[in-house]
A and B are shown apart, each in its own frame.
Chain A
Amino acid sequence: MSWAAALALLDVPLSSVFTGWIDYIGANWDQFLTLLRGHLVMVGIGELLAILIAVPAGILATRDPRLARIIENLGAVAQTIPALGVIALTFTFLGLGKRPTILAITIYALFPILKNTVAGIQNVEEADVRAGRGMGMTNVQRLRRIELPLALPVIFAGIRTSTVLCVGVAYIGVFVGAGGLGTWIQAGLTTVNYDVMLAGAIPGALTVIAFDRGFSVLEGMVTPEGVSRDTTEGGAAA
């Protein structure tokens, strides 16, 4: 079995993979809950801030092509800044702990949401927009009644992508004392204890899967009836 061979090369004992990390979580249940909660709080707040910034910014971008270029470039640049760099640059004035981590998460989460908001609205048929204008809808009515409902599934796909990314970003919070599941990874690394390392890593991976599935269901719920559910175009933002 090749994966077993790979693990052997990495010098990871099989016992860690199968039972060790579960035992470790069981033995440190209260701490686990604290770390997991801390992790999710950071992701939740960071993501929420990102949505609050990126969705309006995306809508704004679709109103004016020049603005669109500026906003999309800013979003793209934001994603190229290493998350660790954001933390290193900002903890001096945001202080240690969760705040610089949340900022890093927000910056990272912006781009997929922004990109999908723009794509979702731009994908609305030109004819629909013209029909709306011709029938006497104001700009706001057109946005609220036509463009946003039709774009919502695509916007949601962006939120899903960015949330999944941010569960990973939150791990680095440990370097500025933000807590979260990264705490155990770091502890495991310094003591070369695979049980501890995996006890930090695997719950994160499972969280990602759970979020991905959960959002997929939500996406289905926000897809208006009558619209075939196809978010593949804008869904692959990141």
Chain B
Amino acid sequence: MIELDNVRKVYGDGTVAVDDVSLEVPEGETVTLVGPSGCGKTTTMTMVNRLTEITEGDVRIDGESIQDTDVIDLRRNIGYVIQEIGLFEHMTIAENISIVPDLRGWDEERKQERVEELLELIQLPQDVKTQYPANLSGGQRQRVGVARAMAAEPDIILMDEPFGALDPITRDELQDEFLDIQQKLDTTIMFVTHDIDEALKMGDRVAVLRDGELVQYDAPKDLLGSPKNEFVANFIGEDRVLKQLSAVTVREVMNAPQVGEGAGENPLSPDDSLKVALQRIFQQGDPLPVVEDGEVVGQVSEADIQAVTDRRTSEVLQ
């Protein structure tokens, strides 16, 4: 668990980059930090590995202040991914991935095994091991960047706009792959992005920052359902209701199935989003059965979906 406790960062010229931010990242969760440029999101994140030194306040990892840990040890125990990727072009892919294990003194065999394991995880062929970053595509390089951060099995990974430099399609692909990977691990992740859609997609919780202050810190669906103020609502965008539909699953709104109802031809799964449900309802009719493991577990209607967005919208804009 990472705890930021009233942290402040004031630069020498008096600029306040981060002002009194407190937030907790629970063990194994992903928190995305999002906001317009200059909002202090990267500064806030890099306080955790002390690339930014805190002016006031404290950061604790599993209860222990990072000020009490040797800074080199601290960083070797925290994975770090940057937007520019920062792969070392004079090192092979295998060498790049095994930098932190190497710094921590793993033997050759263990490093090799780990490299092979990670290449499999990020779905790159084993023969890239001996290649150089220049031989890889942008998407492949960023996969390697992620693998490098995971190499020494850190409990925490910091990601600074990791997919920001990629084209939209590759970006989407990597986001999905990373979500998959993340489910297999239980790493605590801080993820900086300026893209609200990415923040909502990747984060278990989203921290919205503005001018160095934490404006709202909530789970994606709560952020969508009840933005705290106009700034957050505007930042989320006019398609807030649609985004909200993407963030809520059928399981959360479905009703008990009517007795004797069949599964139909193309039933919904409880893990489908309301956006998928709404589309099916428009195509196939209302209501639709929800099927899990071959059994009808519920049903969902257009009115159920409408109720979610109505309730949430009215909560916000009182």
Contacts of A136 in B (CB 8 A): 72-77, 100, 103
CB distance from B166 to the nearest CB of A (A): 15
CB-contact partner of A127 in B85, B90, B100, under 8 A: B85
Contacts of B103 in A (CB 8 A): 135-137, 141
* A65 touches B (CB below 8 Å): no
CB distance from B90 to the nearest CB of A (A): 3
User: Is A125 touching B90 in the complex (CB atoms < 8 A)?
Assistant: no
B73, B87, B89, B148 — most chain A CB neighbours (10 Å) = B89
Q: How far is the CA of A146 from the CA of B85 in the complex (A)?
A: 15
- Interface stretch of the complex, out of A12-20, A202-210, A223-231: A223-231
* A97 touches B (CB below 8 Å): no
* B51 touches A (CB below 8 Å): yes
B-contact 0/1 string along A108-138, CB 8 Å cutoff = 0000000000000000010110111111111
* A168 touches B (CB below 8 Å): no
Identify which of residues 135-174 in chain A touch chain B, using a CB-to-CB cut-off of 8 Å: 135-138, 141, 145-146, 149-150
Contacts of A226 in B (CB 8 A): 89-92, 132-135
CB distance from B124 to the nearest CB of A (A): 16
Contacts of A228 in B (CB 8 A): 134
Known: A130-B51, A136-B75. A224 touches B90 (CB 8 A): yes
A125, A134, A225, A227 — most chain B CB neighbours (10 Å) = A134
Q: With CB as the reference atom, state the residue of chain A lying closest to B148.
A: A135
Contacts of B46 in A (CB 8 A): 134
Q: How far is the CA of A11 from the CA of B223 in the complex (A)?
A: 91
A-contact 0/1 string along B247-289, CB 8 Å cutoff = 0000000000000000000000000000000000000000000
User: Is A134 touching B132 in the complex (CB atoms < 8 A)?
Assistant: no
Known: A133-B75, A138-B72, A226-B132. A128 touches B88 (CB 8 A): yes
Identify which of residues 117-134 in chain B touch chain A, using a CB-to-CB cut-off of 8 Å: 132-134
Q: With CB as the reference atom, state the residue of chain A lying closest to B80.
A: A134
User: Is A227 touching B51 in the complex (CB atoms < 8 A)?
Assistant: no
Q: With CB as the reference atom, state the residue of chain A lying closest to B151.
A: A135
User: Is B86 touching A131 in the complex (CB atoms < 8 A)?
Assistant: yes
Interface size class of B (residues with CB under 8 A): 20 to 34
Q: How far is the CA of A201 from the CA of B75 in the complex (A)?
A: 59
Contacts of B84 in A (CB 8 A): 125, 127, 131
Contacts of A125 in B (CB 8 A): 84, 86
CB-contact partner of A131 in B73, B76, B80, under 8 A: B80
* B308 touches A (CB below 8 Å): no
A-contact 0/1 string along B131-157, CB 8 Å cutoff = 011110000000000001000000000
Q: With CB as the reference atom, state the residue of chain B lying closest to A129.
A: B86
* B49 touches A (CB below 8 Å): yes
Q: How far is the CA of A128 from the CA of B135 in the complex (A)?
A: 18
Contacts of B305 in A (CB 8 A): none
Contacts of A127 in B (CB 8 A): 82, 84-86
User: Is B80 touching A150 in the complex (CB atoms < 8 A)?
Assistant: no
Contacts of B49 in A (CB 8 A): 134
Contacts of B90 in A (CB 8 A): 149-150, 224-227
Q: With CB as the reference atom, state the residue of chain B lying closest to A133.
A: B51
* B99 touches A (CB below 8 Å): yes
A-contact 0/1 string along B40-73, CB 8 Å cutoff = 0000001001010000000000000000000011
CB distance from B51 to the nearest CB of A (A): 6
Contacts of A134 in B (CB 8 A): 46, 49, 51, 75, 80, 82, 158
Q: How far is the CA of A127 from the CA of B100 in the complex (A)?
A: 17
CB-contact partner of B80 in A128, A135, A145, A146, under 8 A: A135
B-contact 0/1 string along A82-121, CB 8 Å cutoff = 0000000000000000000000000000000000000000
Identify which of residues 89-129 in chain B touch chain A, using a CB-to-CB cut-off of 8 Å: 89-92, 99-100, 103
Q: With CB as the reference atom, state the residue of chain A lying closest to B134.
A: A226
Contacts of B51 in A (CB 8 A): 130, 133-134
Q: How far is the CA of A225 from the CA of B131 in the complex (A)?
A: 10
Contacts of A135 in B (CB 8 A): 75-76, 80, 99-100, 103, 148
Q: How far is the CA of A188 from the CA of B92 in the complex (A)?
A: 57
Q: With CB as the reference atom, state the residue of chain B lying closest to A127.
A: B84
Q: How far is the CA of A133 from the CA of B99 in the complex (A)?
A: 12
Contacts of B89 in A (CB 8 A): 150, 224, 226-227
Q: In the complex, given contacts A127-B85, A131-B80, A145-B88, what are 4 additional A-B residue pairs having Cβ atoms less than 8 angstroms apart?
A: A131-B82, A134-B49, A226-B134, A226-B135
17 A-B pairs (CB sep. < 8 Å): A127-B85, A130-B82, A131-B84, A133-B51, A134-B46, A134-B158, A135-B103, A136-B75, A136-B77, A145-B88, A149-B90, A150-B90, A224-B89, A225-B90, A226-B91, A226-B132, A228-B134
Binding site for A on B (CB under 8 A): 46, 49, 51, 72-77, 80, 82, 84-92, 99-100, 103, 132-135, 148, 158
User: Which 10 pairs between the two chains have the least Cβ-Cβ distance?
Assistant: A226-B132, A131-B86, A224-B90, A136-B75, A127-B84, A136-B76, A134-B80, A127-B86, A149-B90, A136-B72
